[in-house]
Amino acid sequence: MKWIFLPALLMCLSSCTVDPQLLGGAWRVSGYYQNGQSVAAALDSVQLEFQPDKTYAFKSIGYYRESGTFRTSGNYLFLTDTTASAPKERALKILYLSKDTLKIVMQRDSLEQVLFFTKL
């Protein structure tokens, strides 16, 4: 029994930790879900970019922009918008990360939002 449990535990530990190297670069939103429902929105201008110096830049529909620092811990991504008058760290859970796909979930007010990104 322990021979089955140990490999399963090791697989979980390796898949439950984000590889920060995979985050680097520019990402564009390709799907947006709110409380499990697809949201129809013009997503082609929504982008997130991660730099090697642990900074990020986000731009959304319209004129909204933010930037700041980021860090990872386990399967969480923490963003601190340093352009805000009172910077606050926001936690996003990374559900999936590969060299060309990023899927995150976050809470905004009482809504669960899931974003799918593809690498540019």
Confidence of residue 16 (pLDDT cuts 50, 70, 90): low
In 19-88 the beta strands, taken as DSSP E runs, fall at 25-34, 37-38, 47-50, 55-59, 65-73, 76-81
Question: For the segment 28-87, what is each residue's pLDDT rounded down to a tens digit?
Answer: 999 999 999 998 888 888 999 999 999 999 998 888 899 999 999 999 999 999 999 999
Distance, CA of 87 to CA of 43 (rounded, Å): 26
Host domain of residue 49: 18-119
Please give the model's pTM, rounded to 2 decimal places.
Answer: 0.82
User: Per the structure, how many domains does the chain have?
Assistant: 1
* CB contact at 8 A, 50 and 23: yes
Q: For the chain, give the longest Cα–Cα distance.
A: 56
* Percent of the chain clearing pLDDT 70 (strictly above): 87
What pLDDT was estimated at residue 15? 52
Does some domain include residue 9? no
What pLDDT was estimated at residue 22? 95
Does some domain include residue 6? no
In the block, which residue shows the tokens 């926001």? 90
Q: Read off the CATH number of the domain in which 110 is found.
A: 2.40.128.280
Does some domain include residue 3? no
Is the Cα torsion angle 47, 48, 49, 55 positive or negative in sign? positive
